[in-house]
Structure 1
Amino acid sequence: MTVTAVPETYRNAVVAHIMVDGAADAIGFYTRAFGAEELFRLGGPDGRIVHAEVRIQGATIMLGDAEGPLFSAPTAVGGTTVGLHVFVEDVDALAHRAAAAGAELLQPPADQFHGDRTTVLKDPYGHVWVFLTHLEDLTPAEVARRARELFGSPAER
């Protein structure tokens, strides 16, 4: 069986629309750090970005300058409650490039029990990114078995 780096299940997932302070700079960062390709941007009369889209190895992310109180940037609220997951061809290369571009490496690339190799990065705009390269196809039962082996059953905790 051939394993693909980006599982079909996640190819057409929910599209994130992230808010940042300094969207134009963020687009430049995502291009350097994650290999993003800018698809388009709509600027407002004040020079801020109303809406833009970038693609990271086939995954589209929408972004724009934060407009409170409806939308705030993570840096304005002291953190984020969302992790942005993107499957990529080579998580190790991406982590290296992103760290060199200024991303904070929260978790270095490592193989995980769920069959993916992952890294966790924080961008300069406060967003947390989880990049993954799929290594093996597992059933939900196999993932659950591996999780029990790794973390123990609820009764063992």
Structure 2
Amino acid sequence: MNELYRSKGLSSALSYRDPKAAFRFLEAAFGFKPLFVILDANDELVHGEMTFGDSVVMIGCEWTDDHRSPSSIDGKNTQSVHVQLAEGEDIDAHCAHARAAGASILMEPATQFYGERTYRAKDPEGHFWTIGVILQRMTPEQWDAVSGLTTRERLD
């Protein structure tokens, strides 16, 4: 079994009605790698973890009234997950693969003002995913000039 303990950083945890199907979908559609699953006495997935690069996403069931899949709450989301591909990866092929595996593509791959190419997808239970790859490394001054926005390190 791979390293089970995470180093300092962030992880997302998502609730699903059918966490087994979600676990399989995320591997097939986005290329996440299974790390481990914890099953209950009825062989139901209660917690699973998957890796993507140095990141971890946790997959679980709807374990309280406050932990619900978007499919259980009229498709509402309070977050989306961003997946960063390695520079040079083919995001158009990644999108086509995700679509073929059952992802709903909400936004086709498009180049953004900050030098990334991104697409947006929705998994079968309604979680939103943005996938991006760096095409051109730009400075904040360069992307501000293109976008008309202002980038600073801090609010104050």
TM-score band by shorter chain is 0.7 to 0.9
Per the TM alignment, residue 120 of structure 1 is displaced from its structure 2 partner at its CA by: 0.4
Instruction: Give the Cα–Cα distance (whole angstroms) in 1 for the partners of residues 123 and 23 of structure 2.
Output: 11
Corresponding residue number in structure 2 for 1:145: 145
Contact persistence 1:59–1:86 (CA under 8 A): no
- Residue in structure 2 matched with residue 4 of structure 1 by the alignment: none
Q: Deviations over 1:53-108 (max 9, x none)?
A: 11234432111111121311111112212111011133211110010011101111
Q: Compute the displacement of 1:41 (Å).
A: 0.6
Inter-partner Cα distance in structure 2 for 1:99 and 1:13: 30
| TM-score of the superposed pair, with normalisation by structure 1 | 0.80
What TM-score do the two structures reach when normalised by structure 2?
0.81
* Cα offset, 1:134, TM superposition: 0.8
Count of residue pairs brought into register by the alignment: 138
2:22 to 14, 22, 26: 26
CA displacement at 1:143 relative to structure 2 = 2.2
Q: Please report the RMSD computed on the Cα atoms of aligned residues, expressed in angstroms.
A: 1.7
Letter of the 2:66 counterpart: L
What are the within-5 Å matches in structure 2 for residues 1-157 of structure 1? Answer: 14-78=10-74, 79-88=76-85, 89-148=89-148
Contact 1:115/1:136 (<8 A) preserved: yes
Residue 13 of structure 1 and its aligned partner are, at CA, apart by 5.4
Residue deviations 1:7-65, cap 9 Å, x none?
xxxxx852111111111111111111111211101112233222111123443211111
- The 4+ residue runs of structure 1 with deviation greater than 4 A are none
The unaligned stretches of length 5 or more in structure 2 are: 1-7, 150-156
Give the partner amino acid of 1:36.
Answer: F
Paired with 1:110 and 1:65, the residues of 2 have a C-alpha distance of 33
Structure with bigger helix share is 1
Separation (CA, whole Å) in 2 of partners of 1:44 and 1:119: 36
Gap regions ≥5 residues in structure 1: 1-11, 150-157
